[in-house]
Amino acid sequence: MSSLNWKPFVFGGLASVTAECGTFPIDLAKTRLQVQGQVGDSKYREIRYRGMLHAMMRIGREEGPRALYSGIAPAMLRQASYGTIKIGTYQSFKRLLVERPEDETLLTNVICGILSGVISSTIANPTDVLKIRMQAQGNLIQGSMMGNFINIYQQEGTRGLWKGVSLTAQRAAIVVGVELPAYDITKKHLILSGYMGDTVYTHFLSSFVCGLAGALASNPVDVVRTRLMNQRGGALYQGTLDCILQTWRHEGFMALYKGFFPNWLRLGPWNIIVSFNCVVRAPVCLYTLCLMPRSLLTPLRNLLRALPH
């Protein structure tokens, strides 16, 4: 354990929180697009938004600009846990299997990506449930983050906090298992081809490529996961298969790709911000620390002091 490199965990978590703050309105628009048009739910039956930009403009106009950040608190908490564990374990697993980065293979990256994604998403699932509900329902959810966690537990029990955990793990396995290897392989081939060096532009291009791959692979699972997490109890969908069949039957196959454009548009910049952390760590960390509540800075400072240098 003494040889464990803590830097990927700390820097990965800080970069993930920064990326979440920068792309959150896009993520909120994606959630609203994914939950609308449900025939069996009168609350979400109406098609209110024609696309990402229309959704963001209408939400800002009708609910106020602050509504674009509904659910940001559990989202930041999610990234502080999910992002930290995902990126840290991914790098650690790779170093356990191969010592040198140039010896990495696609299979190695896929295995490490899936393991890190499943572990981190399972742990952070309660924050995902609350984030999606606050995004979908906006001002209807009042109170503090901890108060809402308690309400979900009291009304739905532990199963309510871990609702959709299998889908969350599947989505994370798909996203991480596709994105991280796609990023590594794209960057590796761009550098080895001689067209581009190991520059910021290489990281940017690799991030958009892996974001497209992740969005294509994960969007159907993301739609089903969002709808299951947003419902209270099991009134509309009895499970994953039932949600897929109802969505396909009533809304058509392409309904499983609702929110695809904001999903990809979010993943591109999100991955750029995280990958940029590998190039310029200090500015990312300083920016993230400025965004964090003061109550979180003291324990974080104590944690950093306790880590080996």
Q: Print pLDDT tens along the chain (309 aa).
A: 445 566 666 766 677 777 788 889 999 999 999 999 998 888 898 999 999 999 999 999 999 998 999 999 898 888 888 877 877 788 888 888 888 877 878 788 788 888 888 898 899 999 999 999 999 887 777 777 888 899 999 999 998 899 989 888 888 788 777 877 788 788 888 988 888 888 878 878 888 888 888 899 999 999 999 999 998 766 788 888 999 999 999 999 999 999 999 988 887 666 666 555 544 444 444 444 454 444 444 444 454 455 444
Cα–Cα distance between 295 and 192 in angstroms, integer?
Answer: 46
Cα–Cα distance between 231 and 140 in angstroms, integer?
Answer: 14
Helices within the chain (DSSP H only): 7-35, 52-63, 72-78, 84-97, 106-123, 125-137, 145-161, 165-193, 200-230, 240-251, 260-279, 281-291, 294-306
Give pLDDT, residue 299.
46
3-state secondary structure of 49: coil
Cα–Cα distance between 142 and 134 in angstroms, integer?
Answer: 9
Give pLDDT, residue 287.
44
Give pLDDT, residue 2.
45
Give pLDDT, residue 249.
93
Cα within 13 Å of Cα(77), Cβ side: 18
Give pLDDT, residue 33.
96
Give pLDDT, residue 300.
44
pTM of the model: 0.77
